[in-house]
Amino acid sequence: MGMTITEKILAAHSGRESIVPGEIVNAKLDLIVCHDVTTPPAVAMLRKLGINKVFDPTKILVTPDHFVPNKDIKSAKLSKHLREWREEQGIERYYEIGNHGICHAIAPEQGHVLPGMTIVCGDSHTTTMGALGTFASGVGSTDLAAALATGELWFKVPESMLFELNGHLPVGVYSKDIILYIISKIGVDGARYKAMEYRGTALKDLTMEARFTITNMAIEAGGKSGIMPVDEISENYVKERTSDSYTIFNSDDDATYSDRFTIDVDQLEPIVALPSLPSNGRFIGEIERVKMDQVYIGSCTNGRIEDLRIAAQIMKGHKVAKGTRTIVVPATTEVWKTAMREGLLEIFADAGCVVSTATCGACLGGFMGVLGAEETCLSTTNRNFTGRMGDPRSKVYLASPATAAATAITGTITDPRDFLKAQAAKA
Protein backbone atom coordinates (compact mmCIF):
# COMPACT_ATOMS: atom_id res chain seq x y z
CA MET A 1 0.00 0.00 0.00
CA GLY A 2 1.26 3.46 -0.85
CA MET A 3 2.30 5.97 1.76
CA THR A 4 1.99 9.72 2.06
CA ILE A 5 5.04 11.94 2.44
CA THR A 6 4.19 12.32 6.14
CA GLU A 7 3.97 8.57 6.69
CA LYS A 8 7.27 8.05 4.87
CA ILE A 9 9.13 10.65 6.93
CA LEU A 10 7.77 9.23 10.19
CA ALA A 11 8.56 5.65 9.10
CA ALA A 12 12.13 6.57 8.13
CA HIS A 13 12.65 8.22 11.51
CA SER A 14 11.27 5.37 13.56
CA GLY A 15 13.18 2.59 11.85
CA ARG A 16 10.15 1.18 10.08
CA GLU A 17 9.51 0.07 6.53
CA SER A 18 5.93 1.16 6.59
CA ILE A 19 3.45 2.61 9.02
CA VAL A 20 -0.24 3.34 8.99
CA PRO A 21 -2.28 6.16 10.53
CA GLY A 22 -3.28 5.57 14.14
CA GLU A 23 -0.12 3.73 15.10
CA ILE A 24 2.04 5.22 17.80
CA VAL A 25 5.68 5.49 16.83
CA ASN A 26 8.77 6.81 18.53
CA ALA A 27 10.44 9.05 15.97
CA LYS A 28 13.97 10.41 16.00
CA LEU A 29 14.11 14.19 15.75
CA ASP A 30 16.39 16.17 13.46
CA LEU A 31 15.74 19.65 14.80
CA ILE A 32 14.31 21.04 18.02
CA VAL A 33 13.48 24.74 18.06
CA CYS A 34 13.35 26.58 21.37
CA HIS A 35 11.91 29.97 22.34
CA ASP A 36 11.55 32.05 25.47
CA VAL A 37 8.05 31.04 26.63
CA THR A 38 7.86 27.25 26.49
CA THR A 39 11.54 26.31 26.82
CA PRO A 40 12.29 27.61 30.35
CA PRO A 41 9.58 25.38 31.89
CA ALA A 42 10.92 22.41 29.90
CA VAL A 43 14.42 23.07 31.20
CA ALA A 44 13.07 23.38 34.74
CA MET A 45 11.42 19.95 34.37
CA LEU A 46 14.67 18.38 33.21
CA ARG A 47 16.62 19.95 36.07
CA LYS A 48 14.11 18.62 38.56
CA LEU A 49 14.68 15.12 37.20
CA GLY A 50 18.45 15.58 37.33
CA ILE A 51 18.82 15.49 33.54
CA ASN A 52 21.53 18.04 32.96
CA LYS A 53 22.53 17.39 29.35
CA VAL A 54 20.60 17.70 26.13
CA PHE A 55 20.88 14.74 23.77
CA ASP A 56 22.76 16.66 21.06
CA PRO A 57 23.39 20.41 21.13
CA THR A 58 23.95 20.54 17.37
CA LYS A 59 20.34 19.60 16.72
CA ILE A 60 18.89 22.42 18.75
CA LEU A 61 18.16 25.99 17.71
CA VAL A 62 17.41 28.71 20.25
CA THR A 63 15.89 32.10 19.57
CA PRO A 64 14.06 34.31 22.02
CA ASP A 65 11.06 35.77 20.18
CA HIS A 66 7.83 36.09 22.13
CA PHE A 67 8.52 38.79 24.68
CA VAL A 68 11.76 40.29 23.31
CA PRO A 69 13.31 42.76 23.65
CA ASN A 70 12.07 41.90 27.14
CA LYS A 71 8.77 43.56 27.89
CA ASP A 72 8.99 43.31 31.67
CA ILE A 73 10.97 41.84 34.54
CA LYS A 74 9.30 38.45 34.37
CA SER A 75 10.06 38.04 30.67
CA ALA A 76 13.63 39.22 31.27
CA LYS A 77 13.90 36.30 33.67
CA LEU A 78 12.68 33.88 31.00
CA SER A 79 15.18 35.19 28.44
CA LYS A 80 17.96 35.04 30.98
CA HIS A 81 17.16 31.40 31.75
CA LEU A 82 17.15 30.61 28.07
CA ARG A 83 20.46 32.38 27.48
CA GLU A 84 22.22 30.74 30.42
CA TRP A 85 20.89 27.31 29.54
CA ARG A 86 22.02 27.49 25.94
CA GLU A 87 25.47 28.58 27.06
CA GLU A 88 25.74 25.81 29.59
CA GLN A 89 24.64 23.26 26.96
CA GLY A 90 26.93 24.65 24.26
CA ILE A 91 24.16 25.20 21.74
CA GLU A 92 25.74 27.09 18.84
CA ARG A 93 22.62 27.89 16.86
CA TYR A 94 21.56 30.78 19.00
CA TYR A 95 20.04 34.01 17.77
CA GLU A 96 20.52 36.71 20.37
CA ILE A 97 18.76 40.08 20.19
CA GLY A 98 20.11 41.90 17.17
CA ASN A 99 20.21 38.65 15.21
CA HIS A 100 16.96 37.22 16.45
CA GLY A 101 13.68 36.41 14.78
CA ILE A 102 10.39 34.62 15.25
CA CYS A 103 11.36 30.96 15.53
CA HIS A 104 9.27 29.60 12.63
CA ALA A 105 10.60 32.29 10.32
CA ILE A 106 14.25 32.31 11.35
CA ALA A 107 14.80 28.54 11.36
CA PRO A 108 14.17 28.09 7.61
CA GLU A 109 15.58 31.52 6.71
CA GLN A 110 18.93 30.66 8.26
CA GLY A 111 19.14 27.30 6.51
CA HIS A 112 18.41 25.01 9.46
CA VAL A 113 15.37 23.36 7.89
CA LEU A 114 16.01 20.68 5.29
CA PRO A 115 13.58 18.50 3.37
CA GLY A 116 12.73 15.18 4.99
CA MET A 117 13.44 16.35 8.54
CA THR A 118 11.37 15.79 11.65
CA ILE A 119 11.07 19.00 13.65
CA VAL A 120 9.37 19.93 16.90
CA CYS A 121 9.13 23.16 18.78
CA GLY A 122 7.12 24.10 21.82
CA ASP A 123 4.86 26.21 19.67
CA SER A 124 1.73 25.44 17.71
CA HIS A 125 2.85 27.18 14.50
CA THR A 126 5.78 24.81 14.05
CA THR A 127 3.71 23.44 11.16
CA THR A 128 5.13 26.37 9.13
CA MET A 129 8.32 24.49 8.36
CA GLY A 130 6.42 21.70 6.61
CA ALA A 131 6.44 23.85 3.46
CA LEU A 132 9.97 22.54 2.89
CA GLY A 133 8.82 18.92 2.80
CA THR A 134 9.43 18.24 6.49
CA PHE A 135 7.30 16.79 9.25
CA ALA A 136 7.07 19.69 11.68
CA SER A 137 4.67 19.73 14.58
CA GLY A 138 4.00 21.81 17.66
CA VAL A 139 4.28 20.32 21.15
CA GLY A 140 4.02 21.43 24.76
CA SER A 141 6.81 21.88 27.28
CA THR A 142 6.81 18.30 28.59
CA ASP A 143 7.18 16.96 25.06
CA LEU A 144 9.88 19.52 24.47
CA ALA A 145 11.69 18.39 27.61
CA ALA A 146 11.49 14.74 26.52
CA ALA A 147 12.71 15.69 23.05
CA LEU A 148 15.65 17.67 24.41
CA ALA A 149 16.65 14.83 26.71
CA THR A 150 16.26 11.89 24.34
CA GLY A 151 16.16 13.24 20.77
CA GLU A 152 12.97 11.36 20.07
CA LEU A 153 9.26 11.65 20.71
CA TRP A 154 6.08 9.62 20.45
CA PHE A 155 3.68 10.44 17.65
CA LYS A 156 0.39 9.00 16.64
CA VAL A 157 0.76 8.68 12.88
CA PRO A 158 -1.77 11.17 11.49
CA GLU A 159 -4.16 10.57 8.65
CA SER A 160 -3.47 12.92 5.77
CA MET A 161 -5.85 15.29 4.00
CA LEU A 162 -4.99 16.29 0.47
CA PHE A 163 -5.55 19.83 -0.79
CA GLU A 164 -5.01 20.21 -4.49
CA LEU A 165 -4.47 23.87 -5.35
CA ASN A 166 -4.90 24.54 -9.04
CA GLY A 167 -4.78 27.57 -11.33
CA HIS A 168 -3.28 31.01 -10.84
CA LEU A 169 -4.02 33.48 -8.07
CA PRO A 170 -5.72 36.65 -9.36
CA VAL A 171 -4.03 40.01 -8.76
CA GLY A 172 -4.58 41.18 -5.18
CA VAL A 173 -5.15 37.65 -3.88
CA TYR A 174 -2.40 35.89 -1.94
CA SER A 175 -1.51 32.66 -0.18
CA LYS A 176 -3.05 34.05 3.03
CA ASP A 177 -6.38 34.18 1.22
CA ILE A 178 -5.97 30.54 0.17
CA ILE A 179 -5.46 29.32 3.71
CA LEU A 180 -8.17 31.55 5.20
CA TYR A 181 -10.49 30.16 2.53
CA ILE A 182 -9.58 26.55 3.37
CA ILE A 183 -10.11 27.12 7.10
CA SER A 184 -13.44 28.81 6.42
CA LYS A 185 -14.52 25.66 4.56
CA ILE A 186 -13.29 22.98 6.95
CA GLY A 187 -13.53 24.85 10.28
CA VAL A 188 -11.11 25.27 13.17
CA ASP A 189 -11.22 21.54 13.86
CA GLY A 190 -11.59 20.36 10.26
CA ALA A 191 -8.10 18.88 10.22
CA ARG A 192 -7.92 17.85 13.87
CA TYR A 193 -5.02 15.38 14.41
CA LYS A 194 -4.36 15.28 10.65
CA ALA A 195 -1.57 16.21 8.29
CA MET A 196 -2.65 18.81 5.72
CA GLU A 197 -0.84 18.02 2.50
CA TYR A 198 -0.81 20.45 -0.42
CA ARG A 199 -0.03 19.95 -4.04
CA GLY A 200 -1.19 21.26 -7.40
CA THR A 201 -0.24 23.63 -10.16
CA ALA A 202 -0.90 26.75 -8.10
CA LEU A 203 2.17 25.98 -5.97
CA LYS A 204 4.38 26.84 -8.95
CA ASP A 205 3.46 30.49 -8.57
CA LEU A 206 4.10 30.53 -4.84
CA THR A 207 7.49 31.51 -3.44
CA MET A 208 8.67 29.85 -0.23
CA GLU A 209 7.57 32.98 1.65
CA ALA A 210 4.05 32.53 0.32
CA ARG A 211 4.05 28.80 1.02
CA PHE A 212 5.09 29.19 4.65
CA THR A 213 1.94 31.27 5.21
CA ILE A 214 -0.19 28.30 4.20
CA THR A 215 1.54 25.64 6.29
CA ASN A 216 1.81 28.10 9.20
CA MET A 217 -1.94 28.07 9.66
CA ALA A 218 -2.47 24.28 9.61
CA ILE A 219 -2.95 24.47 13.36
CA GLU A 220 -5.83 26.93 12.90
CA ALA A 221 -7.73 24.04 11.34
CA GLY A 222 -6.56 21.77 14.17
CA GLY A 223 -3.92 20.12 11.95
CA LYS A 224 -0.94 18.25 13.36
CA SER A 225 1.21 19.39 10.47
CA GLY A 226 1.11 21.02 7.06
CA ILE A 227 3.33 19.72 4.31
CA MET A 228 4.24 20.43 0.69
CA PRO A 229 6.25 18.41 -1.80
CA VAL A 230 9.82 19.47 -2.51
CA ASP A 231 10.26 21.11 -5.92
CA GLU A 232 12.68 23.44 -7.65
CA ILE A 233 11.47 26.44 -5.68
CA SER A 234 12.01 24.78 -2.31
CA GLU A 235 15.30 23.20 -3.34
CA ASN A 236 16.65 26.55 -4.51
CA TYR A 237 15.57 28.12 -1.23
CA VAL A 238 17.45 25.49 0.74
CA LYS A 239 20.56 25.48 -1.45
CA GLU A 240 20.90 29.25 -1.19
CA ARG A 241 21.20 28.79 2.56
CA THR A 242 23.12 25.61 3.26
CA SER A 243 25.19 22.91 1.64
CA ASP A 244 24.00 20.22 4.06
CA SER A 245 22.55 17.14 2.39
CA TYR A 246 18.99 15.93 2.76
CA THR A 247 16.51 13.31 1.65
CA ILE A 248 13.41 14.07 -0.37
CA PHE A 249 10.27 12.06 0.31
CA ASN A 250 7.25 12.03 -1.99
CA SER A 251 3.74 10.72 -1.54
CA ASP A 252 2.96 7.59 -3.55
CA ASP A 253 0.25 7.79 -6.19
CA ASP A 254 -1.76 5.20 -4.30
CA ALA A 255 -1.33 6.79 -0.88
CA THR A 256 -4.46 6.96 1.26
CA TYR A 257 -6.07 10.26 2.21
CA SER A 258 -8.92 10.70 4.63
CA ASP A 259 -10.24 13.62 2.58
CA ARG A 260 -9.45 15.28 -0.72
CA PHE A 261 -10.24 18.84 -1.72
CA THR A 262 -9.63 20.61 -4.99
CA ILE A 263 -9.42 24.38 -4.92
CA ASP A 264 -9.37 26.45 -8.03
CA VAL A 265 -7.45 29.47 -6.81
CA ASP A 266 -8.55 31.58 -9.83
CA GLN A 267 -11.92 31.83 -8.13
CA LEU A 268 -10.62 33.32 -4.91
CA GLU A 269 -10.91 36.89 -3.70
CA PRO A 270 -9.31 38.65 -0.75
CA ILE A 271 -10.64 37.12 2.45
CA VAL A 272 -11.09 38.57 5.90
CA ALA A 273 -11.69 36.31 8.93
CA LEU A 274 -14.12 38.09 11.22
CA PRO A 275 -13.78 37.94 15.02
CA SER A 276 -13.30 35.63 16.91
CA LEU A 277 -12.38 32.49 15.00
CA PRO A 278 -9.89 32.00 12.15
CA SER A 279 -12.64 30.04 10.38
CA ASN A 280 -14.89 33.12 10.05
CA GLY A 281 -13.44 33.98 6.64
CA ARG A 282 -15.62 35.90 4.16
CA PHE A 283 -14.88 37.32 0.74
CA ILE A 284 -14.13 40.97 1.22
CA GLY A 285 -17.04 42.06 -0.99
CA GLU A 286 -19.51 40.42 1.40
CA ILE A 287 -18.54 42.25 4.57
CA GLU A 288 -19.09 45.67 6.06
CA ARG A 289 -16.32 48.25 5.91
CA VAL A 290 -15.75 48.21 9.65
CA LYS A 291 -13.53 50.96 11.06
CA MET A 292 -10.14 49.80 12.38
CA ASP A 293 -8.37 51.37 15.33
CA GLN A 294 -5.22 49.47 14.46
CA VAL A 295 -3.60 47.56 11.62
CA TYR A 296 -0.86 45.03 12.42
CA ILE A 297 1.47 43.67 9.74
CA GLY A 298 3.82 40.98 10.98
CA SER A 299 4.09 37.58 12.75
CA CYS A 300 5.31 34.15 11.69
CA THR A 301 2.39 34.08 9.26
CA ASN A 302 3.02 37.27 7.32
CA GLY A 303 6.12 39.08 8.51
CA ARG A 304 8.50 37.88 5.80
CA ILE A 305 10.16 40.12 3.22
CA GLU A 306 7.64 39.39 0.49
CA ASP A 307 4.82 40.38 2.84
CA LEU A 308 6.49 43.69 3.57
CA ARG A 309 7.11 44.30 -0.14
CA ILE A 310 3.44 43.72 -0.89
CA ALA A 311 2.33 46.04 1.89
CA ALA A 312 4.85 48.72 0.93
CA GLN A 313 3.83 48.61 -2.71
CA ILE A 314 0.30 49.54 -1.71
CA MET A 315 1.28 52.08 0.94
CA LYS A 316 3.85 53.94 -1.15
CA GLY A 317 2.89 57.59 -1.46
CA HIS A 318 -0.05 57.24 0.93
CA LYS A 319 -0.60 58.09 4.56
CA VAL A 320 -2.29 55.80 7.03
CA ALA A 321 -5.75 57.01 8.03
CA LYS A 322 -6.12 59.26 11.04
CA GLY A 323 -7.25 57.09 13.91
CA THR A 324 -5.73 53.88 12.50
CA ARG A 325 -2.46 53.14 14.25
CA THR A 326 -0.40 50.95 11.94
CA ILE A 327 2.35 48.70 13.23
CA VAL A 328 4.80 46.82 11.03
CA VAL A 329 6.83 44.02 12.61
CA PRO A 330 9.38 42.20 10.43
CA ALA A 331 9.55 38.52 11.40
CA THR A 332 13.34 38.38 11.65
CA THR A 333 16.31 40.72 11.88
CA GLU A 334 17.31 39.67 8.36
CA VAL A 335 13.87 40.68 7.06
CA TRP A 336 14.23 44.01 8.87
CA LYS A 337 17.63 44.63 7.29
CA THR A 338 16.46 43.67 3.81
CA ALA A 339 13.44 45.92 4.19
CA MET A 340 15.76 48.73 5.18
CA ARG A 341 18.03 48.21 2.19
CA GLU A 342 15.09 48.10 -0.18
CA GLY A 343 13.66 51.31 1.21
CA LEU A 344 10.52 49.64 2.56
CA LEU A 345 11.03 50.92 6.09
CA GLU A 346 11.11 54.44 4.72
CA ILE A 347 7.85 53.91 2.85
CA PHE A 348 6.22 52.65 6.05
CA ALA A 349 7.65 55.48 8.14
CA ASP A 350 6.57 58.12 5.61
CA ALA A 351 3.09 56.65 5.59
CA GLY A 352 2.94 57.08 9.35
CA CYS A 353 3.47 53.47 10.45
CA VAL A 354 5.48 52.36 13.43
CA VAL A 355 8.17 49.82 12.52
CA SER A 356 9.35 47.50 15.27
CA THR A 357 12.23 45.09 15.63
CA ALA A 358 11.35 41.42 15.13
CA THR A 359 9.15 40.04 17.90
CA CYS A 360 5.93 38.13 18.44
CA GLY A 361 4.84 41.28 20.22
CA ALA A 362 1.17 42.00 19.91
CA CYS A 363 0.36 38.87 17.87
CA LEU A 364 -0.30 37.17 21.18
CA GLY A 365 -1.22 40.30 23.10
CA GLY A 366 2.25 40.55 24.62
CA PHE A 367 3.32 44.12 23.90
CA MET A 368 4.01 46.53 21.00
CA GLY A 369 0.39 47.10 20.05
CA VAL A 370 -1.86 45.45 22.63
CA LEU A 371 -5.55 46.32 22.11
CA GLY A 372 -7.79 48.07 24.60
CA ALA A 373 -11.47 47.34 25.30
CA GLU A 374 -13.78 47.56 22.25
CA GLU A 375 -10.85 48.31 19.93
CA THR A 376 -10.66 46.79 16.46
CA CYS A 377 -7.56 45.55 14.68
CA LEU A 378 -7.04 44.13 11.22
CA SER A 379 -4.04 41.86 11.52
CA THR A 380 -1.93 39.66 9.26
CA THR A 381 -1.45 37.20 12.14
CA ASN A 382 -3.09 33.80 12.42
CA ARG A 383 -5.58 33.78 15.29
CA ASN A 384 -8.31 36.16 16.31
CA PHE A 385 -9.60 34.37 19.41
CA THR A 386 -11.20 36.37 22.21
CA GLY A 387 -8.47 38.37 23.96
CA ARG A 388 -5.72 37.13 21.65
CA MET A 389 -4.28 40.60 21.04
CA GLY A 390 -5.33 42.25 24.27
CA ASP A 391 -8.54 43.08 26.05
CA PRO A 392 -11.18 40.32 25.78
CA ARG A 393 -13.60 42.92 24.41
CA SER A 394 -11.29 43.87 21.52
CA LYS A 395 -11.96 42.47 18.04
CA VAL A 396 -9.39 41.06 15.64
CA TYR A 397 -9.87 40.58 11.89
CA LEU A 398 -7.38 38.45 9.96
CA ALA A 399 -6.29 39.19 6.39
CA SER A 400 -3.36 39.34 3.96
CA PRO A 401 -0.65 42.04 4.11
CA ALA A 402 -2.20 43.65 1.00
CA THR A 403 -5.62 43.92 2.63
CA ALA A 404 -3.95 45.21 5.78
CA ALA A 405 -2.07 47.92 3.87
CA ALA A 406 -5.20 49.04 2.00
CA THR A 407 -7.14 49.08 5.26
CA ALA A 408 -4.44 51.14 6.98
CA ILE A 409 -4.75 53.82 4.31
CA THR A 410 -8.55 54.15 4.38
CA GLY A 411 -9.12 53.25 8.04
CA THR A 412 -11.89 50.80 7.19
CA ILE A 413 -11.67 47.25 5.82
CA THR A 414 -10.64 47.79 2.21
CA ASP A 415 -10.12 45.60 -0.85
CA PRO A 416 -6.45 45.87 -1.87
CA ARG A 417 -7.46 45.51 -5.52
CA ASP A 418 -8.87 49.07 -5.38
CA PHE A 419 -5.34 50.34 -4.88
CA LEU A 420 -3.63 47.87 -7.18
CA LYS A 421 -6.02 48.78 -10.02
CA ALA A 422 -5.39 52.49 -9.53
CA GLN A 423 -1.64 51.86 -9.57
CA ALA A 424 -1.87 49.78 -12.72
CA ALA A 425 -3.93 52.48 -14.42
CA LYS A 426 -1.27 55.09 -13.60
CA ALA A 427 1.60 52.95 -14.82
Partner 1 sequence: MPELPNTFKGAAHVYERAHINTDEIIPARHLNVHEEAELAKYAMEDIDTGFIKRVKTGDFIIAGENFGCGSSREHAVWALRGAGIRVVVATSYARIFFRNAINNGFLAIECPEAIEMVKTGDEVEIDIQAGKLRNLTTGKEAGFVPLSDFARELIEDGGLLPHIQKKAAKA
Is 129 near ligand SF4 (CB under 6 A)?
Answer: no
Find all residues with CB under 8 Å of 132, minimum gap 6, and list them: 108, 113, 114, 115, 208, 228, 230, 234, 237, 238
Is 127 near ligand SF4 (CB under 6 A)?
Answer: no
Nearest to 380 by CA among 193, 229, 212, 166: 212
Asked if residues 333 and 100 have their Cβ atoms less than 8 Å apart, the reply is yes
Identity of the residue, 215 or 382, whose beta carbon is nearer to ligand SF4 in the bound complex: 382
Site string for partner 1, 353-372 (x = CB under 8 A): -----------xxx---x--
Among ligand SF4, partner 1, none, partner that 41 touches (CB below 5 to 8 angstroms by kind): partner 1
Nearest to 276 by CA among 162, 393, 109: 393
H or E stretch covering 82? helix 73-89
H or E stretch covering 139? none
Among partner 1, ligand SF4, none, partner that 306 touches (CB below 5 to 8 angstroms by kind): none
Rounded least distance, CB 123 to partner 1, Å: 6
Contacting residue, 262, 386, 421, 422, with partner 1 by CB under 8 A: 386
Is 388 near ligand SF4 (CB under 6 A)?
Answer: no
Identity of the residue, 9 or 148, whose beta carbon is nearer to partner 1 in the bound complex: 148
Is 78 near partner 1 (CB under 8 A)?
Answer: yes
On the 0-12 / 13-18 / 19+ scale of CB atoms within 10 A, 373 is exposed
Is 135 near partner 1 (CB under 8 A)?
Answer: no
Site string for ligand SF4, 82-111 (x = CB under 6 A): --------------------x-x-------
How far are the Cα atoms of 9, 19, 130 from residue 15, in angstroms, in the given order? 10, 10, 21
Site string for partner 1, 309-348 (x = CB under 8 A): ----------------------------------------
Is 149 near partner 1 (CB under 8 A)?
Answer: yes
Q: Which residues of 318-335 are buried (b: 16+ CB within 10 A; e: fewer)?
A: bebbeebbbbbbbbbbbb
How many residues belong to the site for partner 1 (CB under 8 A)?
50
Nearest to 27 by CA among 35, 37, 19, 39: 19
Site string for partner 1, 163-182 (x = CB under 8 A): --------------------
Would you tell me which residues interact with ligand SF4 (CB under 6 A)?
Answer: 66, 102, 104, 123, 125, 299-300, 360, 363-364, 381-382
